Amino acid sequence: MTNRSFLTRFAWLSIAAAILTIGLKTVAYLLTGSVGLLSDALESLVNLVGALMALAMLTIAARPADDDHAYGHGKAEYFSSGVEGTLILFAAISIGITAVARLVHPRPLEQVGLGLAVSVAASLVNLVVARILLRTAKQHNSITLKANARHLLTDVWTSAGVLVGVGAVALTGWQRLDPIVALFVAGNIVWSGVRIVRDSVSGLMDSALPVDEQDLVWHLLEQLRQDGIEYHDLRTRQAGSRRFISVHVLVPGTWTIQRGHALLERIESDIRCSLPNVEVLTHLESLDDPSSWEDGARHRRGKPPLPRPSRD
């Protein structure tokens, strides 16, 4: 298994970005009094909590397998993304409450130009860090960094919406535009949080590999049939960055154990070369034994059942 402890450095980068943007956006809010900018600062506070959680879970996920966790600690990443998604939802609620109060009791904004300049600087920091995290998440299949990057990108779009709202207030003088934009910001944050929580739950439920990866494995196994070999009971799942694949391979009963073992070694090697960070479990069965076919048909991805040999 690849050592992933280096990924924690990206969590530290996210922590640093969150602290910097919290400071900048708080200054922007204090300068302008904009509830939209306040909502932006609150979301950055959630970014900080999420980044700290990401650091903790990435540290745990990088631990090697042990006697109590034979399949490793990769699922710890799902806890991080789940917590971050939940925090995002709480931030959206607090933003909505603040925006409604300001909608009822509007207040004029002050020093809009300077406040917007500070907020733009904070947004640029988030944009740069989000792109770095997203690229790293894709390269190393880290749901924790992916959730963190999504949150930061949401923060960037949120900031853009707030800037439009504050600018519109400055141009039109209609004070209620600011809390109205903040409410739209809250709605956008809710959608981002729901997606992150959904992905986390899916991972904790041992969902199968993506369809394109399943197809890749299926095509590799289909080539075996050219040599009179069959397979069934293909199962896949993913835990954090690790992939798990199991399959039953059926060969003629006259084969020697050594020949069957060599075939399984080749199959496992081909799958490992095609997919990164994957553990493959193969089970050898005889084509001539009817009991070999009893548990395979239901896992063949919709393909028609293989013919069962006669007991005669």
What pLDDT, in 10s, does the model give residues 62-74?
787 777 777 777 7
pTM above 0.75, yes or no: no
Of residues 312 and 205, more confidence is placed in 205
Q: Thinking of the domain 211-299, which architecture would CATH place it in?
A: 2-Layer Sandwich (3.30)
Whether the predicted pLDDT of 303 surpasses 60: no
Whether the predicted pLDDT of 221 surpasses 80: yes
Element of type H or E holding 95:
helix 76-104
Mean pLDDT of the chain: 78
Q: What is the pLDDT of residue 240?
A: 67
The bridge status of strand 242-251 relative to strand 278-286 is parallel
Distance between CA atoms of 18 and 24, rounded to whole angstroms? 10
Question: For residue range 184-214, what is the model confidence (pLDDT) as tens digits?
Answer: 777 777 877 787 787 777 777 777 888 889 9
- Out of 80-84, 239-243, 307-311, which region has the weakest mean confidence (pLDDT)? 307-311
Q: Which residues, in sequence order, are bridge partners of residue 281? A: 246
Handedness of CA 283, 262, 287, 247 (dihedral sign): positive
Question: For residue range 132-150, what is the model confidence (pLDDT) as tens digits?
Answer: 998 988 888 787 888 788 7
Of residues 250 and 148, more confidence is placed in 250
Local confidence band at 39 (pLDDT 50, 70, 90 cut-offs): low
Q: What is the pLDDT of residue 284?
A: 93
State the angle between helix axes of 112-140 and 8-32 in degrees (0 to 180), rounded to the nearest 10.
160
The answer to whether 243 and 208 have CB atoms below 8 angstroms apart is no
* Three-state DSSP state, 216: helix
The domain segmentation of the chain, as residue ranges, is 5-204, 211-299
Of residues 173 and 14, more confidence is placed in 14
Q: What is the pLDDT of residue 252?
A: 92
- Residue 229 tokens read as 């070999």
CATH 3.30.360.10 for domain 5-204, yes or no, is: no
Whether the predicted pLDDT of 292 surpasses 80: no
* Three-state DSSP state, 205: coil
Distance between CA atoms of 298 and 301, rounded to whole angstroms? 8
Q: Which residues, in sequence order, are bridge partners of residue 238? A: 243
> Which regions of the chain does DSSP assign to beta strands (E)?
230-239, 242-251, 278-286
Question: For residue range 94-126, what is the model confidence (pLDDT) as tens digits?
Answer: 777 777 776 777 666 555 566 677 777 888 888
